Amino acid sequence: MTTFIAFVVVFGTIVFFHELGHFAVAKLAGIKVYEFSLGFGPAAAVWKPGETQYSIRAFPLGGFVKLAGMDEEPEGEDTIASDDPRSFSNKPLRWRMGTIAAGPAMNFLLAAILFAIYFMMVVVPPTIGMVEQNSPAHESGLMPGDEFVAMDGEPVDSIDQVIDRIDQRAGEEMVLTVRRAGEIIEVTATPAVVNGEGRLGIDIMEKPQLPFLQSVGAGIVQTGVITRELITAIQQMISGAIEPEVAGPIGIVQIVGETARMGVANLLLLAAILNVNLGLLNLLPIPILDGGWLVFLGIEGVRGRPLDPKYRGVAGMIGLALLFMLMIFATFQDIMRLDWFS
């Protein structure tokens, strides 16, 4: 149940922000929005305070915003004519491109926000600031900058915990697990007994969470770093430099569930990375994705007139087939990664 709730919250938030981007810019452009929906399948809840219908559907695996003049018009009295100025197809090119691009843009924005929240709430582990010469710590090989991870196999995450463990093991050998330059290292040390207390001969510091403005800056930078890394990975997979490694719904549910059990901070990181993934995926130049629409609109800008709907329809069928094959491949990899195949 925890896995399902975590998946619905994480994936639902990602989809909501993506569709909110399309919705907000469409409204700003004066485009009529028929429906804003989270999920697919039968409607579980529907309300219509104005011209737009809002719905939550049975299967929380996506969502959509239905715009007038973009796809087939729905039947009903609210349907507008093809020459209506509120139709997507009748808006200036810049507004149409902005409406399409706003979905992925919101995912990158949400990723930066989640990274910023993470940096504001996470405390850096107790870190060695200074090591006294000829002390037990010096003899064991501990160095300034080492971050305490565990002591005698038990995790530590505060200065008080480190001091208490050292006191408890005064005069006795103990195993210290530290992180040094990203690498986990284990050393043994015997705290000296000084005035009845244990001493390793170190000065410990604990860095607080980043302040708001620094967290925002760090969130933006981290979003850029993850984006570049994912683009590089996609290029390498396409070129064959590395093996294709993708996750489908089964894999994502499993990853979200495992991460949720590791705590809220780790779930925030995963949600941020998934937002970047979804943003990039939707920008791929595949028809029926946002990137495909941007390609069509870019061609229209160059030609001075839109593509024939017949060609767009053929391209859409090809794009749908490509996505279907990608989903089959991702699901196959998900199944092969399950424990009963190991």
Dist. CA 325–CA 329, nearest whole Å: 6
- Rounded alpha-carbon distances, angstroms, from residue 121 to 206, 262, 276: 14, 15, 21
Q: Which among 296, 295, 293, 288 is positioned nearest to 320, based on CA atoms?
A: 288
Using DSSP, state whether 82 is helix, strand or coil.
coil
CA 299 to chain centre: 31
Question: Under a CB-based contact definition with an 8 Å cutoff, are residues 249 and 61 in contact?
Answer: yes
Task: Tell me 172's DSSP state.
Answer: S
The length of the chain, given as a count of residues: 342
292 Cβ contact partners less than 8 Å away, ≥ 6 residues apart: 284, 285, 286, 315, 316, 319
Report, as residue numbers or ranges, the catalytic residues.
Answer: 19
Within the chain, residue ranges assigned H as helices are 2-29, 93-121, 136-140, 159-168, 212-239, 249-260, 264-283, 290-303, 309-337
241 Cβ contact partners less than 8 Å away, ≥ 6 residues apart: 235
At 210, which helix (H) or strand (E)? none
232 Cβ contact partners less than 8 Å away, ≥ 6 residues apart: none
